[in-house]
Structure 1
Amino acid sequence: MSSTSSDVVVESAPAAPAPPRALPSGLAAFLVFLSSGAVLVLETVSLRLVGPYVGVTLQVTSSVIGMALAAIAYGAWLGGWLADRRDPRTMLAPALVLAGIATALTLPVVRYAGEMLRGGAAGGVLVLTAIAVLVPAGLLAGITPLVVKLQLADLRRTGQVVGRLSGIGTLGGITATLVTGFVLVAALSSTAIVLGLAAVLGVTGLALGAYLRRRAGAELPGPGRIRAALAVLGLAGAGLSAVAPNPCDVETAYHCARVEVDPQWDQGRYLYLNSAQHSYVDLADPTHLKYAYVQWIGLVADLAAPKGQRLDALHLGGGGFTVPRYLAATRPGSDNLVFELDGGLVDLDRRELGVRTGPQLRARVGDARVLLDAEPTDSRDLIVGDAFGHLVVPWHLATREMVAEVRRVLRPGGIYVQNVIDLPPDRFIRSELATVATEFRHVAAIAPPGAIAGKYGANFLIVASDTPLPLTGILAGLRGLPEEAGLLYGDEFTRYVGDALVLTDDHAPVDQLLATA
């Protein structure tokens, strides 16, 4: 019996390639902190970039937040998808550099597009905010999953790694939001913030690329043509930023402000806030009131007390200080106290609009509602409400609780006037009239007849008091003004207001009421 034998050769399967080496823990944390924080800087500054073109309303704010969240969602998804298909080390540095370039390009693209999308139409708001946020924020959001992939060398520590980096990213966003809102916006222009952020991202990306290549040796390809292409894009972005139209002469903490000389009168000055014509000031004649609604305020003020008699007046919103200057000039000895949220605007008024503060004209910087709470009861003869965020009365200055505070500060027989802008179907002005009427026994409204009829948008002036209004004097005064205006009072006022919503601190949908049907 014989037997045979044979040798069986078993080939071992090729070893799986070693996973890319993890980043040092500190570097990984820094990249996540920086990229997450940069997204929130972009989100905050985007409101200032788009504001001059579409205003700063609830819809604009919501659109910016929504676009930033969309960028984070899609950027994180795409970054995770790429991290599973390519070595994340090859993508981290280019993503940072591209994010820097996209950030720099945001300035000229928003400014050129903004000129074409001026106004507050919903479509324009969405397009402009998408242009401002989506691409750079999406690129930055993709960095965190790339870093997480590199750090997941031990599956037993997955939860710890992901949780730690997620927490660091959130801390980066919180830090960036607070620093931008409290420090950067107050100290720097939007241009400086955006270009500074772009430079930080670009330099960080280049430094990271050099570091990773040295660390990996031959494992990572050199930059080759990619670096040249990125350099060209960066130069193009810088060039476009330099020549892009800038709608601001001065950027304050709240406004993009511009002052223009009246071509018809070299002493006249127009004040633009966020590209909306806000005030007209005659440097030579403070009694020159150009706009119709300001003439109405002047008319009511002149009827509030005999001509020349001093008045204790409180102004909620300063703008160009047109009405306070008028009262100081026509009623010597009057006390005009102006509450203005924007200290930078007060400085601009002093510098370019001839505002001189002193005993008859004082300016206090802060929120009008907060400052009003500290005013003594029965201390003012006239209160003028003329505060706006773009073309919208801030909601907390339009509620019943706010009107109650106004009534508390007014002396018996004092008059409250409030400037409101509305468009057909005039839901906001009706609601505001209903709101004021809950606190004052006598309320009327001045507006162009066509605006009262709902044919077009315009300024409305609410006039309110606890004692009967000088309606005969108002009607006679309106007939003497250049532009026709009507007066709503009595039964006509009641029919106009109808069952309009009374605004309260609990429910004041001002932006929605202003939206056209």
Structure 2
Amino acid sequence: MAAAVTFLASGTVLVLEVVGLRLIAPYVGVTLQTSTAVIGCALAAIALGAWAGGTTADRSDPRRLIAPLLVGGGALVVAVVPVVRFAGALLTGAQAGNVLLLAFVAVGVPAALLSAVPPMVVKLQLGSLAETGSVVGRLSGIGTLGGIVATFATGFVLVAVLPSSVILVGAGLLVVLVGVALALLLRRRAPGAAGRLPVGLLVLALAAPGLAVVAPTPCERETAYHCARVDADPGRDTGRVLRLDTLRHSYVDLADPTYLEFEYVRAVAAVTDALAPDGEPLSALHVGGGGLTLPRYLAEVRPGTVSRVLEVDPGVVAVDEEELGLRTSPSLEVRVGDARVGLLDEPAGERDLVVGDAFGGLSVPWQLTTTEALELVDAALTADGVYAVNLIDHPPLRFVRAELATLRAVFDHVLLLARAPVVAGQDGGNVVAVASQRPLPAVAIAAGLADRQLAWQVVEGGELDRFVGDAAVLTDDFAPVDQLLTPYG
């Protein structure tokens, strides 16, 4: 019984930690800071709970406390889903305060309560001081094993087959049921020894799933990485917006693949216009899929174009197929998997165009920003092939400057396409960087931007030198992308 309770309490804390990150990501993004906040809050809760639990066990009979702690901790695990959803509506944004508060809301109190259980179990198992080491070591090992099993089961199995809300509600209710059963068993063995169960928290455990249903949520569908939703454009009957978490990620016109709503997509299209004569097919690789707006555009305006899309999230591909009219074919192939791994499998020297448009929240995944990643992109391109990548940043634009410096370390010719306030460092948003080993048609690209009614500039030469300044080059060994985007100190 001691082993089972310790295993369950410790394992549930790790389930909460793993799923808690997914629960708050739609509101504050998936960044290194988000992961750090969740892990840090969980560790703080574990430390506080273990300390308080051990201290209390020396002052009171643990038999009166273990079952109520399990019931209370389990009930609060169930309640995490609606609480985070209500709090997330108020704490949206990647500011440090929002991230830390939401991380605490997701894991803090239930993790502390459940972490108080193992030291109380240890207290009850200590028959003599001569067995202290073996008892503490055994139960510590069992608790750690529970955390390991929970981590792998959640990350590799549960998240793939169940929504986060179902995982947390199921885990919480299991802990509550074990707490109730333990209380009944202790009362049968030693009447009066077991503590009273918190009736209010039992009611909360039963009511919380209902609260989760009515709580506001950005999710229409929970994928392996995102909360996904497709919204109709009220101003355009066939327009659809793909939202991933809280962001407008892609715009697709179901009837007209040549309609490009987002400015950065039109900027990339202006680059493709300058690559080859009108209508000439291209061989294109797209790093990041989203709604596959650009692959569909190229297939329409350049018949015969062959596009391969590297998309990490199978759920997004399913949304594309079911709600955005995606039809794959030999000329429009989607490969599900990490884009960095997908780049390793690309044949050398075959792509006329590589488009980078992969994001986790507002940041490009760091492993796609480094010199090593860009060398893989370069290897996939033909001798005069072009890499065009969508980037997002805000003043002081430290990430964009670093990524441009990294591009210049790999490619001989680099351009920046951006609005004038962004170039001046007064505003942020999307920019497009263009790189090649051959001179780029800057004049033609600028004309293409104007033709598409974009008030964007083409920055090159000395002006680009001044913009980049002394920004660091990103490598696999040093790529603080999230810190460059959101400096915390």
Q: CA RMSD in A?
A: 1.2
Residue of structure 1 equivalent to 2:193: 220
- Is 1:411 matched up with 2:382? yes
Counterpart pick for 2:231 among 254, 260, 281: 260
> Which residue is 2:318 aligned to?
347
TM-score normalized with structure 1 length: 0.93
* Partner deviation per Cα, 1:293-342 (whole Å, 9 max, x = no partner): 00011111121111111111000000110011111111111110000011
Match 2:129 to one of 155, 160, 163: 155
Deviates more, 1:227-236 or 1:261-270: 227-236
Q: Which residue of the other structure, out of 442, 459, 477, is the alignment partner of 1:488? A: 459
Q: What SS does the corresponding residue of 1:286 show, helix, strand or coil?
A: coil
SS at match of 1:184: helix
**Residues 1:475 and 2:446 are matched in the alignment:** yes
Give the alignment partner of residue 54 of structure 1, picking from 28, 48, 63. 28
Specify every segment of 5 or more residues in structure 1 that has no aligned partner in the other structure, as ranges.
1-26
Residue of structure 1 equivalent to 2:201 = 230
Counterpart of 1:131 in structure 2 is 105
Number of residue pairs matched? 488
2:158 maps to 184
Residues 240-259 of structure 1 correspond to what in structure 2 (within 5 A)? 240-259=211-230
Q: Distance in 2 between matches of 1:453 and 1:337?
A: 36
Confirm or deny: 8 A CA contact 2:225 2:313 kept in the other structure.
yes
Deviations 1:17-50 (A, max 9, x none): xxxxxxxxxx111111111111110000011110
Structure 1 residue 416 displacement after superposition: 0.4
CA distance in 1, matches of 2:82, 2:268: 41
Displacement after TM superposition at 1:274 (Å): 1.2
The 3 A distance-change label for structure 1 pair 350 and 29 is same
Q: What's 1:402 paired with?
A: 373
Separation of aligned partners in 2, 1:122 and 1:68:
17
Question: Secondary structure at 2:308's aligned position in 1?
Answer: strand
Secondary structure, aligned partner of 1:344: helix
Q: What is residue 286 of structure 2 aligned with on the other side?
A: 315
Partners of 2:94 and 2:194 lie apart in 1 by 48
Match of 1:13 in 2: none
* Structure 2, unpaired ranges of 5+: none
Secondary structure of the corresponding residue to residue 363 of structure 2? coil
Read off the aligned partner of 2:142 and give its amino acid letter: I
- Report the equivalent of 2:423: 452
Matches of 1:469 and 1:320, distance apart in 2? 28
Residue aligned with 1:116, SS:
coil
- Shifted more, 30-39 versus 233-242: the winner is 233-242
1:485 deviates by: 0.6
Residue identity over aligned pairs, in percent, reads 55
Q: Can you list the C-alpha shifts for 1:402-449, whole angstroms capped at 9, x where unaligned?
A: 111111110010000011001000111011001001111110010111
Q: Who is 1:92 aligned against? A: 66
Alignment correspondent of 2:339: 368
CA contact (8 A) 2:186 2:194 kept: no
The structure 1 residue matched to 2:435, chosen from 447, 464, 482, is: 464
CA distance in 2, matches of 1:44, 1:147: 25
Higher-Rg structure is 1
Q: 1:266 corresponds to which letter in structure 2?
A: D
Residue 242 of structure 1 and its aligned partner are, at CA, apart by 2.6
Q: CA separation in 2, counterparts of 1:219 and 1:468?
A: 85
1:221, CA displacement in angstroms? 5.4
C-alpha contact (below 8 Å) 1:260/1:270 kept by paired residues:
yes
Match of 2:4 in 1: 30
- TM-score, length-normalised on structure 2? 0.98
Find the residue that maps to 1:266 and give its secondary structure.
Answer: coil
Secondary structure of 2:65's partner? helix
- 1:378 is matched with 349
Which of 73, 76, 80 lines up with 2:54 in the alignment? Answer: 80
Which of 12, 18, 33 aligns to 1:44? It is 18
Alignment of 1:268-283 (within 5 A): 268-283=239-254
Check conservation: 1:314, 1:384, Cα contact below 8 A: yes
In structure 2, distance between residues paired with 1:389 and 1:144: 37
Deviation at 1:233, TM superposition (A): 2.8
Q: 1:270-309 alignment to 2 at 5 Å?
A: 270-309=241-280
| 1:444–1:487 contact (8 Å) kept in structure 2 | yes
Paired amino acid for 2:405:
A
Q: What residue is the counterpart of 1:11 in the other structure?
A: none
Partner-residue secondary structure (3-state), 2:392: strand
- Kept in 1, the 8 Å contact 2:183–2:194? The answer is no
State the shift of 1:129 in Å.
0.4
- How many angstroms does 1:108 deviate by? 1.1
